[in-house]
Amino acid sequence: MSIEQETPKEGKYIYGIIRHSGSIDFGPIGIGKRADRVYGINYKDISAIVSNSPIIQYEARRVNMTTHEKVLEEIMKEFTVLPVRFSTISEHNDDAGIQRILEKDYDKFSDLLKKMDGKKELGLKVLAHEAPMYESILEKYQNIRSLRDKLLNLPPDKTHYQRMKIGEMVVEALKKETAGYKDTIIAALTPLSEDIKTNDNYGELMILNAAFLIRNSIEPEFDKAVNELDLKYGKLMTFKYVGTLPPYNFVNLVINTKGI
């Protein structure tokens, strides 16, 4: 005997909040395989950007995350957007349910939109080149260089512990150097930023993993500053610079969709 799966109820998937009154339509670019229409639901002078969706928990797979982000990118072409957490779905399958959410948190949304108006997030990851950084450390740290030179012509099996010691010294020197470069880069970009969020590094060769909140008008100047840092330190490290992101690192918008 086959058991029929119950069809999920329908709700509204919420992508973000913008300052806008009146109708707005972004076309059939919604999350999932159905390509639902993405549109705005208004309360006063703010709108939630939504699409119809089954009430399910979307897996954080690349295809779903990419669709969510592409919708936000479309919104950002015209508006400052407060990004809502991935897979936020209202259990109300009508505009009135979304309007109640907007009414309940209107002051919070309005204040955040004012704070973020005319600003954008830019991402910067800086990774050290292993070989050039190692050479730089040998050049700068005489104690490491001297010990290395003493072992160059000795058999590896007779110098095992000394080589381990050099490895430990290099690791400590690398930590010191990457911390110094991180401080230098942040100091150069801080005057151009409204806010900075440094995230955890992954791997010992990562120098910086940060997000910068900047005013749109300052972006050319910020680009120039990053390019100058790249020219100065490019032999030692790679600058991975990503522009115009939703302000994920500066807006943590969790919406309570239940009981409203």
Domains and CATH numbers, the chain: 10-117 (no CATH), 120-245 (3.30.70)
pLDDT at residue 260 in the model: 57
Strand, helix or coil for residue 81: strand
Tokens standing for residue 49: 């950007």
Task: Find, among 104, 96, 113, 122, the residue nearest to 17 by Cα.
Answer: 113
Give the confidence band of 259 by pLDDT, cuts at 50, 70, 90.
low
Among 10-14, 16-20, 145-149, the range scoring the smallest mean pLDDT is: 145-149
**According to DSSP H, which parts of 20-159 are helical?**
62-76, 95-104, 106-116, 130-140, 142-151
pLDDT at residue 161 in the model: 77
Q: What is the mean pLDDT of the segment spanning 114-142?
A: 92
Q: What is the mean pLDDT of the segment spanning 222-249?
A: 93
Cα 17 from chain centroid (whole Å): 18
Q: What is the mean pLDDT of the segment spanning 73-82?
A: 93
Interval 49-69: pLDDT, tens = 999 999 999 999 999 999 999
pLDDT at residue 58 in the model: 93
> Would you say residue 2 has pLDDT above 50?
no
Give the confidence band of 5 by pLDDT, cuts at 50, 70, 90.
low
**What gap in Å lies between CA 53 and CA 8, rounded to an integer?**
9
Q: What is the mean pLDDT of the segment spanning 70-75?
A: 94
Cα 123 from chain centroid (whole Å): 6
How many other CB atoms are found less than 10 A from the CB of residue 96? 8
CA distances from 105 to 43, 84, 99, 228 (A): 11, 13, 10, 43
Give the confidence band of 243 by pLDDT, cuts at 50, 70, 90.
confident
Torsion, Cα of 4, 53, 97, 73 (10° steps): 160
**What gap in Å lies between CA 39 and CA 51, rounded to an integer?**
6
Interval 132-171: pLDDT, tens = 999 999 888 888 888 788 777 777 766 677 778 888 888 8
* Opening angle at CA 23, ends 18 and 26, nearest 5: 70
* Opening angle at CA 88, ends 82 and 93, nearest 5: 110
Q: What is the mean pLDDT of the segment spanning 32-61?
A: 94
**What gap in Å lies between CA 199 and CA 123, rounded to an integer?**
10
pLDDT at residue 214 in the model: 95
